[in-house]
Structure 1
Amino acid sequence: MTGRMAGKVAVVTGGAHGIGAGTVRLLHAEGARVVIGDLQADDGERLAAELAGAGGGVVFVRTDVSVEADVARLVDTAVERFGRLDVMFNNAGIIGAVGPIDRTSLADADLTVAVNLRGVLCGMKHAARVMKPQGSGAIISTSSPAGLMGGVGAHVYSGVKAGVIGLSNSVAAELRQHGVRCNVIVPGAVVSQMTAGLVAGGADDLAGAEAALDRSSYMGRALQPEDVARGVLYLASDDASHVTGIVLPVDAGMTGAGGPSAMAAEEHAAQGGLREAGRRTS
């Protein structure tokens, strides 16, 4: 490891599993002290204990990101324990409401908004109150390909993930004058408990999820939490000191190059170019 995060303090919501846990491990390995926020207390405590044995500097705080007081306490813990806050990774999220739009449960929809958008807003608010007077910091929030394109996610989930991008860009415009950067990471389908619950035999069937995602991957192998964590590390580090207001997909080109390269097929190689009225060049 390069020590790119030495001396820095990070908060990771949804940090007990999947992308969050992969990011906690990588930031810690790169020298950061990390506060994990998650509702899954047993797993969060277990991860903190694991990393405490690998150099320490990791604590867990049970956090419901839809409750502002919980998020405030999470940020306060980082400052009280480690003296500052350099990175806020708003990663916690749920799929939430599913099904046809005409049968959408508004109760499920409200929860989806509360966790996936209100939770990000809370994270930004409480990170900013520390980072603005500090004069530095990086806020990173997790969106989804569903926030950029239709047909790949549940309706309400898609709406709030698009909202995360709009919110982040707006906040980036405010906070840059204070030395605080605000960016979005867009992961593709990652081998995680959430994905396993959708594509495999259940939330604990990570091997089944990996096999399913291997088959559907644009690049021939399933996307792992560590792949996304490396993108977060870049945005969190000083390597991205002038990067703000961006959306960084880590999705094997799903959002930018989702279709096949039809005209690059071998059958077209010797046919020349196509010009006006279907005329070909040699």
Structure 2
Amino acid sequence: MSRFSRYSIVLPFLTFGIAPAAHAQSSSGYFIPPSAQQQSAPAAPAPKPAPAPQVQAAQPQPQQPQVPNLPALPPEPAPPTAVIGVLSVPEVMQKSTAAQGVQAEIQKRQAELGKEAQAARTKIEAEQQAILAQRGKVSDAQLEAKEQALRDEIAATQTKFQQKNQAIQNSGQQALGQVEAELIAIIRQEAQAHGMNLILHREQVALNVAAFDITGEAAAELNKLLPSVKVPPSVVTPGMAVNPPDQGPDGQGFGQ
């Protein structure tokens, strides 16, 4: 069998390549005892007991370095009393009309890319079937050359769609970066208005009272100041790096 029939690749949206050949005999759908299918096999010999593990001598622990005794530092003023507030960044982003618009645009572009990928898959499957139909009609060398050419095409197609998908992701991240920058400024503004000097992620706080929470105020102010953002075009650049799948921001990576 030519190794071509076992060749397949995975794209961000679709899997290129022909599915493996079906088994010659399909399962009957119910269990048949082995005695009804084949002769009973001789009983396997009982396994030999594993040898008892050898006790190794305890290894001496490496000596830990001694903690140095440093001189005291000059006294400095104590920090101010903490006035704490909490904020849920994921909730703010969910309520943000600008972030919602970015998500809708990215989903639209990915849907269009999915249609393009489906068309590419159909084309490659047709070329694959055409090569399979030539088995026995052309020489092995000619068949191998055609298969290699198609393998190269599949690899190039995979790279193309990975880069296009990455370009879409980059556009989304660039647009969301504008939303995040505006949100950071709003958080500082809200903290100053409430006299707060320490804002924590609400998801990391076990208990808080509503008076500490500025999530609603921040979301309302964000929609007021930045109701929408424009998603830049998704352009593939030469040598574009493609990030591994399932990698992205967690919504809590804001600086100060």
TM range (shorter): under 0.3
Q: TM-score, normalised by structure 2?
A: 0.21
In terms of fraction of residues, the more strand-rich structure is 1
